[in-house]
Amino acid sequence: MSLTICNVHFTKQPERIVWFSSSLAKLLKLGGRKSVNVKLGKDIVPATVRTIKRKGHHVYMSAGLRRSVRIPKSGHVYIANDEDKEIKLGPLIGVLTDGGTRISSPFGERTEFVRQLLHLGRKKAYFFAFTPRDINWRQETIHGWFLNGGGGWTRRVVPLPDVVYNRLPSRRAEVGSAITTLRERFIKKRIPFFNWGFFNKSDVYTMLDNDPEALRHLPESINNPTSEKMKELLEKHQFLYYKPSAGSLGNGIYRLTYTPRKGYFIRYRRSGGNILLRFSNFNSLMKMLRARHRGNLSSYVVQQGIRLAEIDNCPIDFRFHMHKNGQNQWVVAGIGAKKAGRGSVTTHIKNGGSLMTPERALSRTFGDKSDDVLKEAKSVAIKLAKAIERNYTHALGELGLDIGIDRDGGVWMFEANAKPGRSIFKHPALKGQGKASLKYILDHCIYLSKFRRRDES
Ligand SMILES: Nc1ncnc2c1ncn2[C@@H]1O[C@H](COP(=O)(O)OP(=O)(O)O)[C@@H](O)[C@H]1O
Ligand SMILES: [Mg+2]
């Protein structure tokens, strides 16, 4: 397969004609051909071939052809000749998202992220965003949102894309049948679709249960434990986390500790404040938990508590933002360190936590060993990402791992997020990593779109 960047221009003829500059025609091995199939996304349209004398790699498309292939715009894009002697343009990449109500910010609070991503990809692909409502399955088209030169939005109807990057925002919407059907339709059409959806904590723990390499870095965890089991674990570890399996942002998390002779302690967050309660026996602690949750604790997981490294007596932990790159390999794109607010059960910023670079956080706890500790944590994060991927049925291209480092430098994973937030990249020192993260998304989409040379696969 030959692959190169070309410059697409439009002409006015109503017939379906495509002109190639001579050097491009030669590269694409079109010598002597009278017609060719032109492909964009999942659409293929036959066209008459002509060549023109012009230096460089240029393609001219008649209005008739443009209308049938639905090329969204002129300018630079990849062109390749496929095994089946098709000429394909693209890649056509769709970012699936939602959440907006206004035309100026069609994807709500995600709009800025989508805008940055599309801006980065504008010279390498036909890169657009869409919501589930923008798909027309009967016609197999999408009414996509493209970024125009002025930074505003232009709507264009395009064929089903070569790749979908899924950033649908709502966990609740995702389990609905409409979204499940939508995803299955893409898979049926052999359109790579990543990531599939949000992870539940219990699913990740179960997934890694038979993977010794990953299990070494998971605190002991039990899904939907009986109170006997919880008591047993509390006596074993003296310290547990009790978390809603589908929770996020630290909501609904309890920290339990047991000290012989002193009793059972529970910490949690309520109405913006941190609560600490003591019980003299385990049963009254469980009674309080059941009362708070009206008896419904079945979607909780219990987990061995890890004694995290601390700064000023406040635990710190880390978000490792992982991506698959243009060679389909996992890389650490960015790391944010978070120091818990005083008395807080979690390190979330909204619960009083603060964000810093991992270098700063680790040098304050591990001194001159901090480089080695960080290196080890990165290598564990890559191992964990690979383990999650090999135990998961669907395609994965991005992960946010919540990682703890204990006082001996041991590395632990608390949870894996399949739609990781990007708040760590707001830190001034992590802006560059935020950019790198966007670049990995783009490169991985291009990788999945198969717009690559054979020797790159
Ligand atoms: N087993 C544990 N040991 C020590 N700290 C934990 C443990 N589990 C969670 N935490 C702390 O609580 C935070 C939130 O937990 P996490 O599992 O990431 O839930 P959420 O989905 O609410 O973010 C972690 O970032 C970490 O600071
Ligand atoms: Mg978390």
- Ligand 1: which of 241, 302, 318, 406 to mutate, most ligand atoms within 8 Å of CB? 241
Among 236, 257, 346, which is best to mutate for testing ligand 1, by the most ligand atoms less than 8 A from CB?
Answer: 346
Alpha-carbon distance of 108 to 129, in angstroms, equals: 13
Q: What is the reported pLDDT for 347?
A: 95
Residue 272 confidence (pLDDT)? 87
Q: Which domain holds residue 241?
A: 220-305
- Is 321 in the same domain as 425? yes
Atom 12 of ligand 1 has which residue's CA nearest to it?
A: 346
For position 186, what pLDDT does the model report? 97
Identify whether 205 is part of a domain.
no
Block residue for tokens 């001159």 = 368
The answer to whether the Cα torsion of 444, 448, 452, 454 is positive or negative is: positive
Residue ending a domain, choose from 305, 329, 348: 305
Residues 155 and 234 in one domain: no
The answer on 315 and 457 residing in a single domain is: yes
* pTM of the predicted structure, to 2 decimals: 0.95
Rounded CA-CA distance 288/103 in Å is 47
Q: How many domains does the chain have?
A: 4
What's the pLDDT at 455? 53
Q: Which atom of ligand 1 is nearest to the CA of 249?
A: 22
Same domain, 437 and 328: yes
In a domain, 330, yes or no: yes
- Closest ligand 1 atom to the C-alpha of 253? 22
Asked if 451 and 358 sit in the same domain, the reply is: yes
CA of 289 to the centre of ligand 1 (A): 18
Q: Is residue 17 domain-resident?
A: yes
Give residue 217 CA to ligand 1 midpoint distance, Å.
14
- Indicate if the alpha-carbon torsion angle 103, 106, 111, 114 is positive or negative: negative
**Are 68 and 48 in the same domain?**
yes
Residues 85 and 8 in one domain: yes
- What is the CA(402)–ligand 2 centre distance, in A? 6
Ligand sitting nearest the alpha carbon of 303: 1
Average pLDDT by stretches of 10, the chain with 457 residues:
92 97 94 93 96 96 96 94 86 93 84 95 93 95 94 95 94 81 95 94 95 97 96 96 94 96 95 94 96 93 97 96 97 98 93 95 96 98 98 96 97 97 96 98 96 63
Q: Same domain for 233 and 174?
A: no
Q: Strand ranges (DSSP E) for 31-99? A: 35-40, 43-52, 58-61, 75-81, 86-90, 92-96
Boundary residue ending a domain (63, 89, 115): 89
- Cα 414 to chain centroid, rounded: 18
Same domain, 41 and 83: yes
344 and 446 share one domain = yes
The residue type at 408: D
Q: Is the peptide bond before 91 cis (omega within 30 degrees of 0)?
A: yes
- Same domain for 436 and 340, yes or no, is yes
Closest CA to 383 of 320, 337, 432, 438: 320
Question: 305, 334, 353: which is the final residue of a domain?
Answer: 305
* 136 and 176 part of one domain: yes
Ligand 2 centroid to Cα of residue 414, in Å, is: 7
